[in-house]
């Protein structure tokens, strides 16, 4: 299988904090590749580097055979790099439908059209509606996005990304703060997307990771300490000793600050 | 080019630059800490100049006049905060622009009503009417040298305060990461007031010092405000080092451009054309310098590294 | 901050259309009355308001819709006016040439200023537009051949052949109103178009728009250029109205006043900018009659408008119309 997204030797420091050090990563088409690691490991930084929001200090990023390292965020997005944010990022004062329609507009050619009303443009609204149906938000299409619940907002972000038919989807903790029922729905959706794109999934929920992921990469202090099939990674001595060792459930499940702190502390040993 | 004239104009450029620095330093820190834009900062410079002029004429004591400048400007700065600024800290930049613009046109007009539209007399102090003989034989007005000296001392003091005192370090920290300071329990609002007050006093002092060499008249602060903006954009918003560098750059470019650009153009153009283009280009020079800096380094020459949210 | 939906609900769209029609009808009525009473002074005053309304409307595109707080728009007004003045000085008074030239010059100036300023954000953007505006001011001042700081008298207004004579005050007034109305209708369409939607969305969440693949800066630059071009057109009308151009047209106080008009009327509403410009000009006239020091009253008024007025006059009307 070919790599649709490739990172080689990525490095990024914030002052003295090394958030990425000589990172190599490979995402294949049609796989779900999970990136895990304790808080502060550099997962969000990695996504930022891949998406183009952060400039790497060193390294190269290749998307579908093309070196995209010098490209800005919007150019990478136009080449098929979709993403959701750790803190959901939507257009709060626009309706749910318009949020997605704008995403359609981004891919549907020209936005330099100055006269015809966009709001009633079925060539934009049609695809937007079906994307909303896909994530189960069809009924909320006319609500302002600001009125959505947290989990719904995550789904909306996903609908916006999906409607663009990206080659690569970068997801930053899509399950964080999502109620169990919605989480289940989201997992099923991700599962169904595997055949259409490569997904890089940053997630703290270990159950989800080991259920969905084809491969898992473990990040600690900006370095890859293990990478491979879920079962291998689980068995990896370095991961076990540094990570899974003391508490198989708790260490990863750090949805609360409290647990995050203990999770990080366990690495200092 | 006459080397003596060049020396004199270099000094003039430094003198203008240091005056600008006194105005720009407070302004840039105010942006840095609360991301507030204050168009009324130039008004404080004018208030300082007027206060000094009035005290000078009434008392005849020059030292008293120079002291009055920063003190009255400080009071005006704090009043500005009380009456207007504190209501717009949390608003967007547009609201800050309009509110402080309202203050600016009000104070300019008030000064016109109180003191008339003409420039106030601001004679040089008795001890400073002489000129200094420079190496090579040129002479240079002692008062301008005094401005350079005072500006340099204050710039030095400011850097000392910013780097060596606790308050100074907090101010610098605030420019990089205000949210962090809030979390550490620092009263950013009070810190801001401190900076605003210090900035007002510096601007007022600059006004008082500039009094004898500029026209003390309504609206005199507008000009300096815009120059200070150019300085800040060129140097990097929020950075005091940047403000110093930008000030000197702007001061020198403006002064040297006005004195030598036309002559230099004469080397390449017919005299008539040079006479026409020269002054126009000279008056635009600092803006072109700013444009060049923006092209090369959009965040200015010495940007403050802000922590991302 | 509670975000209201930007999408127009049907009643909101209707209320907007009614208010906008009311504004334009009132302006037309004022023109008719001034004309009927044979009051050239008031006709000229109203035309001045129309011209500044066009500039404020153009500025609202930049500030209210695209979120670009420009404090240098008077420069574009001045560029438009100076092209008329300078070309007339050289005997070139054909309006069919002059006007496109003036608008193109203003658009080019906006392209350069916008291209540089858009490399920055927020406070820097404001300072830079102000600084470049001031650069144009000094440029005008140093045009010694065209009057320098004294300005330049325009001896012949733009000529459009026999069927349209701008020397007739009424023609100029109605032409200004027609242009203002056309510009308003164009910008209203633009606001709800694909292009306008990108601008509005980017104002709200630039990061998201970039992640969706929008080159936000490019859209903003185009908006800034359209805004500058329309402001230049206002300058063209102003030069023909006053038969005079001077550096004072480019004063940064004028830029501030244009911003004040936009906010006074209601930011981002378009018809609010028109209303704001009229209220501003008429208020200025009334205050100036009370005292030569009208700025003493206007300055505090502006502060109060900012502190009190959420949504400007249009917002006020809406709140009266639909009390919660
Ligand atoms: N913009 C930034 N400025 C300074 N430090 C940062 C910035 N972004 C991330 N960091 C630091 O880099 C490290 C990695 O952060 P992050 O990528 O968010 O980790 P994760 O997503 O794995 O929790 C952390 O120590 C964090 O504090
Ligand atoms: Mg993270």
Task: Please give the mean pLDDT across all residues of chain A.
Answer: 86
- pLDDT for res A256: 35
Across C80-96, average pLDDT:
95
Alpha carbon of C36: minimum distance to chain B alpha carbons (Å)? 37
Q: Which of the listed residues A13, A18, A19 should we mutate to test ligand 1's pocket, taking the one with most ligand atoms within 8 A of CB?
A: A19
Report yes or no on B162 lying in a domain.
Answer: yes
Percent of chain C with pLDDT over 90: 77
pLDDT in tens, B47-93: 999 999 999 989 888 889 999 999 999 999 999 999 999 999 888 99
Is the distance from the beta carbon of residue A39 to the nearest atom of ligand 1 less than 6 Å? yes
Across B18-39, average pLDDT:
90
Is the distance from the beta carbon of residue A43 to the nearest atom of ligand 1 less than 6 Å? yes
**A252 Cα to the center of ligand 2, angstroms:** 13
Is the distance from the beta carbon of residue A19 to the nearest atom of ligand 1 less than 6 Å? yes
Q: Which domain holds residue C239?
A: 10-321
- pLDDT for res A250: 42
CB contact under 8 A, C143 and B280: yes
Q: Which of the listed residues A18, A40, A221, A263 should we mutate to test ligand 1's pocket, taking the one with most ligand atoms within 8 A of CB?
A: A40
- pLDDT for res A265: 31
CB contact under 8 A, B105 and C298: yes
Decide the pairing of beta strands A223-228 and A215-220: antiparallel
- pLDDT for res A268: 30
Percent of chain B with pLDDT over 90: 59
Two tokens, residue C274: 């028109």
- pLDDT for res A75: 95
- pLDDT for res C322: 64
User: Range with the lowest mean pLDDT among A149-163, B38-52, B123-137, B275-289?
Assistant: B123-137
CB contact under 8 A, A89 and C2: no
Which residue in the set C195, C205, C209 is minimally distant from A113, CB to CB?
C195
Q: Does B112 touch chain C (CB under 8 A)?
A: yes
Which residues 264-323 on chain C approach chain B with CB closer than 8 angstroms?
Answer: 267, 293, 295-296, 298-303, 305-307
- pLDDT for res A242: 66
**pLDDT value at B99 more than 60:** yes
CB contact under 8 A, C205 and A91: yes
Q: How many domains does chain C have?
A: 1
- pLDDT for res B272: 86
Q: Please provide residue A4's backbone torsions phi and psi, each rounded to the nearest 5 degrees.
A: -90, -30
Distance in Å from the first CA to the final CA of chain C: 17
**A45 Cα to the center of ligand 2, angstroms:** 7
Q: Does C207 touch chain A (CB under 8 A)?
A: yes
Across B36-40, average pLDDT:
93
Confidence of residue A1 (pLDDT cuts 50, 70, 90): low
Decide the pairing of beta strands A198-202 and A215-220: unpaired
**C212 Cα to the center of ligand 2, angstroms:** 20
Q: Which residue is closest in CA terms to ligand 1's atom 25?
A: A40
**A202 Cα to the center of ligand 2, angstroms:** 8
Ligand 1 atom nearest residue A48's Cα: 17
Locate all alpha helices (DSSP H) within B165-187, ordered by sequence: 166-176, 178-183
> Which chains lie within 8 Å of chain C at 3 or more CB pairs, if any?
A, B
Whole-angstrom distance, CA of residue C78 vs CA of residue C80: 5
Q: Comparing C-alpha atoms, which of C152, C126, C111 is closest to residue C247? A: C152
Confidence of residue C78 (pLDDT cuts 50, 70, 90): very high
Q: Does B222 touch chain C (CB under 8 A)?
A: yes
Query: DSSP secondary structure string, A132-198?
Result: HHHHT-GGGTTSBGGGS-HHHHHHHHHHHHHTT--SEEEEESTTTT--HHHHHHHHHHHHHHTTTSE
Query: DSSP secondary structure string, A237-256?
Result: HHHIIIIISS-TTTTT---S
Whole-angstrom distance, CA of residue C321 vs CA of residue C323: 6
Q: Which residues of A touch C3 (CB under 8 A)?
A: 92-93, 144, 146
Report yes or no on C33 lying in a domain.
Answer: yes
pLDDT in tens, C267-305: 999 999 999 999 999 999 999 898 888 889 999 999 999
**pLDDT value at A264 more than 80:** no
Q: Which residues of B107-136 are buried (b: 16+ CB within 10 A; e: fewer)?
A: bbbbbbeebeeeebebeebeebeeeeeeee
CB contact under 8 A, A119 and C211: no
Confidence of residue A262 (pLDDT cuts 50, 70, 90): very low
Give residue B298's Cα distance to chain centre: 22
Q: Does B4 touch chain C (CB under 8 A)?
A: no
**pLDDT value at A150 more than 50:** yes
Q: Does C195 touch chain A (CB under 8 A)?
A: yes
Q: Which residues of A touch C222 (CB under 8 A)?
A: 112
CB contact under 8 A, C263 and B104: no
> Which chains lie within 8 Å of chain A at 3 or more CB pairs, if any?
C
Whole-angstrom distance, CA of residue B75 vs CA of residue B203: 12
- pLDDT for res B306: 62
CB contact under 8 A, C130 and B98: no
Report yes or no on C4 lying in a domain.
Answer: no
Q: Comparing C-alpha atoms, which of B200, C253, C194 is closest to residue A110? A: C194
Whole-angstrom distance, CA of residue A198 vs CA of residue A34: 11
Q: How many domains does chain B have?
A: 1
Number of neighbouring beta carbons within 10 Å of residue B266 = 15
Two tokens, residue C114: 């916008």
Q: Which residues of C153-182 are buried (b: 16+ CB within 10 A; e: fewer)?
A: ebeebbbbeeeeebeeeeebbbbbbebbbe
**pLDDT value at B280 more than 60:** yes
Report yes or no on C66 lying in a domain.
Answer: yes
Two tokens, residue A16: 């003295």
Confidence of residue A249 (pLDDT cuts 50, 70, 90): very low
Across A174-188, average pLDDT:
86
Report yes or no on C39 lying in a domain.
Answer: yes
Report yes or no on B304 lying in a domain.
Answer: no
Report yes or no on C242 lying in a domain.
Answer: yes
Report yes or no on B303 lying in a domain.
Answer: no
Report yes or no on C1 lying in a domain.
Answer: no
Whole-angstrom distance, CA of residue A116 vs CA of residue A121: 8
pLDDT in tens, A73-109: 999 999 999 999 988 899 999 999 999 999 999 988 7
Q: Which residue is closest in CA terms to ligand 1's atom 8?
A: A45
Q: Which residue is closest in CA terms to ligand 1's atom 27?
A: A40
- pLDDT for res B262: 87
Which residue in the set C6, C186, C214 is minimally distant from A94, CB to CB?
C6
Count of helix runs (H) and strand runs (E) in chain B: 12, 2
Alpha carbon of C193: minimum distance to chain A alpha carbons (Å)? 5
Count of helix runs (H) and strand runs (E) in chain A: 10, 10
CATH number at residue C287: 1.10.3470
Ligand 1 atom nearest residue A42's Cα: 17
**pLDDT value at C309 more than 80:** no
Q: Is the separation of the CB atoms in A145 and A155 below 8 Å? A: no
Two tokens, residue C108: 């080019």
**pLDDT value at A46 more than 50:** yes
Which residue in the set A77, A111, A118 is minimally distant from C211, CB to CB?
A77
Report yes or no on B129 lying in a domain.
Answer: no
Ligand 1 atom nearest residue A202's Cα: 21
Report yes or no on B211 lying in a domain.
Answer: yes
Q: Which residues of B touch C306 (CB under 8 A)?
A: 88, 91, 95, 98-99, 102
State pTM to two decimals: 0.93
- pLDDT for res C2: 39
Domains of chain A as residue ranges with CATH: 3-90+148-262 (3.40.50.300), 91-147 (no CATH)
Alpha carbon of C167: minimum distance to chain B alpha carbons (Å)? 33
Q: Does A126 touch chain C (CB under 8 A)?
A: no
Q: Does C22 touch chain A (CB under 8 A)?
A: no
Is the distance from the beta carbon of residue A75 to the nearest atom of ligand 1 less than 6 Å? no
Is the distance from the beta carbon of residue A12 to the nearest atom of ligand 1 less than 6 Å? no
Q: Which domain holds residue B178?
A: 3-122+141-296
**A42 Cα to the center of ligand 2, angstroms:** 7
CB contact under 8 A, B294 and C301: no
- pLDDT for res C153: 94
Q: Does B272 touch chain C (CB under 8 A)?
A: no
Name the one residue in this structure whose structure tokens are 């990136």: A35
CB contact under 8 A, C126 and B232: no
Confidence of residue A260 (pLDDT cuts 50, 70, 90): very low
CB contact under 8 A, C293 and B299: no
Confidence of residue B210 (pLDDT cuts 50, 70, 90): very high
Across B7-22, average pLDDT:
94
- pLDDT for res C323: 52
> Which chains lie within 8 Å of chain B at 3 or more CB pairs, if any?
C
- pLDDT for res A58: 95
Preferred mutation among A53, A80, A111 to probe C, highest tally of C CBs within 10 A: A111
CATH number at residue B245: 1.10.3470
Confidence of residue A261 (pLDDT cuts 50, 70, 90): very low
């Amino acid at each position: 299988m070919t790599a649709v997204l490739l990172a080689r030797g990525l490095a990024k420091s914030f002052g003295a904090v090394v958030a990425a050090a000589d990172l190599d990563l490979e995402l294949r088409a049609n796989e779900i590749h999970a990136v895990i690691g304790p808080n502060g490991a550099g997962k969000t930084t990695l996504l930022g580097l891949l998406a183009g929001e952060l400039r790497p200090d060193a390294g190269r990023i290749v998307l579908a055979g093309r070196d995209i390292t010098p490209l800005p965020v919007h150019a990478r997005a136009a080449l098929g790099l979709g993403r959701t944010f750790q803190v959901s990022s939507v257009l709060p004062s626009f309706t749910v439908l318009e949020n997605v329609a704008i995403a359609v507009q981004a891919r549907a050619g020209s936005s330099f059209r100055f006269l015809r009303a966009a709001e009633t443009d079925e060539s934009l609204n049609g695809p937007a509606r079906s994307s909303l149906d896909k994530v189960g938000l069809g009924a909320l299409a006319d609500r302002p996005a600001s009125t959505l619940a947290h989990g719904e907002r995550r789904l909306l972000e996903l609908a916006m990304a999906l409607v663009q038919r990206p080659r690569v989807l970068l997801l930053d903790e899509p399950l964080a703060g999502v109620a169990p029922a919605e989480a289940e729905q989201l997992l099923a959706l991700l599962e169904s997307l595997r055949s259409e794109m490569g997904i890089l999934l940053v997630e703290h929920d270990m159950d989800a990771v080991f259920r969905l992921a084809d491969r898992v990469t473990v990040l600690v202090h900006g370095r890859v300490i293990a990478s491979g099939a879920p079962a291998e990674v689980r068995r990896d001595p370095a991961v076990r000793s540094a990570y899974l060792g003391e508490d198989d459930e708790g260490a990863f499940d750090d949805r609360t600050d409290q647990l995050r702190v203990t999770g990080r502390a366990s690495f200092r040993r | 080019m006459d080397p003596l004239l060049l020396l004199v104009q270099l000094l003039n450029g430094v003198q203008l630059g240091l005056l600008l620095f006194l105005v720009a330093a407070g302004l840039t820190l105010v942006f840095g800490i609360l991301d507030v834009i204050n168009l009324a900062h130039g008004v404080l410079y004018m208030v300082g100049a007027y206060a000094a002029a009035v005290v000078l004429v009434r008392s005849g004591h020059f030292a008293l006049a120079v002291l009055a400048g920063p003190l009255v400007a400080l009071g005006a700065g704090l009043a500005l905060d009380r009456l207007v600024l504190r209501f717009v800290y949390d608003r967007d930049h547009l609201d800050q622009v309009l509110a402080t613009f309202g203050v600016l046109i009000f104070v300019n007009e008030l000064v016109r009503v109180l003191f008339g539209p003409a420039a106030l007399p601001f004679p040089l102090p008795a001890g400073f009417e002489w000129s200094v003989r420079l190496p090579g034989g040129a002479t240079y007005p002692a008062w301008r040298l005094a401005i350079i000296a005072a500006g340099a001392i204050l710039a030095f003091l400011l850097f000392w305060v910013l780097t060596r005192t606790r308050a100074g370090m907090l101010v610098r920290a605030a420019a990089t990461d205000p949210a962090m300071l809030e979390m550490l329990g620092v009263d950013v609002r009070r810190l801001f007031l401190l900076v605003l007050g210090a900035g007002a006093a510096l601007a007022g002092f600059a006004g008082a010092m500039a009094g004898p060499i500029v026209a003390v008249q309504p609206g005199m602060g507008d000009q300096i405000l815009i120059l200070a903006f150019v300085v800040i954009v060129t140097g990097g918003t929020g950075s005091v080092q940047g403000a110093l560098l930008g000030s000197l750059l702007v001061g020198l470019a403006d002064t040297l451009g006005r004195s030598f650009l036309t002559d230099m153009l004469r080397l390449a153009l017919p005299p008539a054309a040079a006479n026409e283009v020269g002054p126009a280009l000279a008056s635009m020079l600092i803006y072109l310098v700013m444009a060049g800096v923006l092209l090369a380094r959009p965040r200015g020459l010495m940007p403050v590294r802000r922590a991302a949210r | 901050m509670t975000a209201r939906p930007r999408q127009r609900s049907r009643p909101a769209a209707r209320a907007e259309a009614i208010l906008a029609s009311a504004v334009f009808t009132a302006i037309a009525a004022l023109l008719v009355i001034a004309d009927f009473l044979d009051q050239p002074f008031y006709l000229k005053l109203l035309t001045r308001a129309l011209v500044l309304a066009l500039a404020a409307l153009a500025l609202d595109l930049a500030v209210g819709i695209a979120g670009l707080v420009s404090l240098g728009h008077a420069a574009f007004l001045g560029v438009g006016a100076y092209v008329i003045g300078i070309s007339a000085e050289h005997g070139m008074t054909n309006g069919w040439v002059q006007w496109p030239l003036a608008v193109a010059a203003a658009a080019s100036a906006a392209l350069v200023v916008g291209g540089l300023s858009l490399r920055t954000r927020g406070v820097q953007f404001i300072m830079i537009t102000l600084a470049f505006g001031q650069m144009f001011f000094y440029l005008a001042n140093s045009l010694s051949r065209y009057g320098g700081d004294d300005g330049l008298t325009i001896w012949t207004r733009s000529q459009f052949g026999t069927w349209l004579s701008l020397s007739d005050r009424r023609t100029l007034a109605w032409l200004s109103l027609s242009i203002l109305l056309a510009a308003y209708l164009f910008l209203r369409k633009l606001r709800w178009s694909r292009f306008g939607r990108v601008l509005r969305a980017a104002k709200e969440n630039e990061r998201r728009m970039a992640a969706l693949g929008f080159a936000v800066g490019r859209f903003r630059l185009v908006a800034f250029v359209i805004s500058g071009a329309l402001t230049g057109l206002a300058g063209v009308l102003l030069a023909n109205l006053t038969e005079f151009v001077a550096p004072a047209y480019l004063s940064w106080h004028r830029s501030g006043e244009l911003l004040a008009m936009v906010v006074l009327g209601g930011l981002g509403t378009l018809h609010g900018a028109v209303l704001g410009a009229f209220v501003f000009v008429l208020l200025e006239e009334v205050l100036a009659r009370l005292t030569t020091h009208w700025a003493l009253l206007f300055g505090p008024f502006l502060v109060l408008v900012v502190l009190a007025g959420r949504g400007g006059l249009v917002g006020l009307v809406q709140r009266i119309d639909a009390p919660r």
